[in-house]
Structure 1
Amino acid sequence: MKLTPIAVASTVFALSLSALAEDVPGMKMDGMEGMEMKQDVKQAPIAKAEGTIKSINSEKQTVTIAHGAVPAVQWPAMTMAFSVTEDQLTGLTAGDRVSFSFRLEGGRATIVSIKK
């Protein structure tokens, strides 16, 4: 007996939410053609470190570096692979001491810059 009003109320509520979620087709956009639309997307901060290149995998575009602690991302010293572009690999070989900066996004570390 009490379930019927609850079911009706729940259905009305759910339908009203879906109506609110739809785009507003009648919204006027006159005069907004030249407006710059900015997304508030924050990029992950860039961290800096120094280390020694242990290996380079050109096919996977990774460089494995034994590096010191990186306080910016709360990492201890370790050896790990970083994503890198082919251009960034130019002139680098295993055994080189490097300073590098990287960005950590979604559990993936990507080299931003690297130099001997």
Structure 2
Amino acid sequence: MKKANRVSLAVVLVLFVGTIPLGRAQGMGGMDMKDMNMSKCKEMTQGMDMSKCKDMMGKDKKGMEMKGMGADKKSEVHKGVGTVKKVDPAGGKVTIAHGPIPTMKWPAMSMTFTVKDKALLGKFSQDKKVEFEFVEQGSNYVITSVK
């Protein structure tokens, strides 16, 4: 192959390869990011056992800004009705299959709650129907009273 042909081929390749990122960027034209916000991300975490997520993230949180993550907001009391599935006295936790909780926009589901006062654990037993109140404390959902 002659030198002139190789140079021409090289120029064509450079021009072609250089346009690939532009084509990809133009393909993202339909993505509208102005409506994206962190409150939508928070909604996705509802019902998750966030203590497990904390463990996966590691222990060193230095330099992580946590403003606006709910820890500093006044805790609203939420009410639920459900059936006790498991009691963990050592961990101070109880698993409840509860109905919908409108104030949290939660559907019916089973989840594990932390109990604020371990003395409340005596009011829970497997397969017992309970009415309970809880608050969001950081990334945990903490039962404050039970009937």
* Bucket of the pairwise TM-score, normalised by the shorter protein: 0.5 to 0.7
CA distance in 1, matches of 2:101, 2:112: 15
**Map 1:5-24 → 2, pairs under 5 A:** none
Counterpart pick for 1:59 among 83, 86, 90: 90
Counterpart pick for 1:70 among 89, 101, 106: 101
TM-score by length of 2: 0.48
TM-score by length of 1: 0.61
Q: Which runs of 4+ in 1 moved over 3 A?
A: none
- For the aligned residues, what is the CA RMSD? 1.3
Structure 1: unaligned runs, 5 residues or longer: 1-40
SS at match of 1:44: coil
2:40 aligned residue = none
- How many residue pairs get aligned? The number is 75
Give the number of the structure whose residues are more often strand, by fraction: 1
Counterpart pick for 2:135 among 73, 85, 103: 103
SS at match of 2:97: strand
Percent identity (aligned): 36
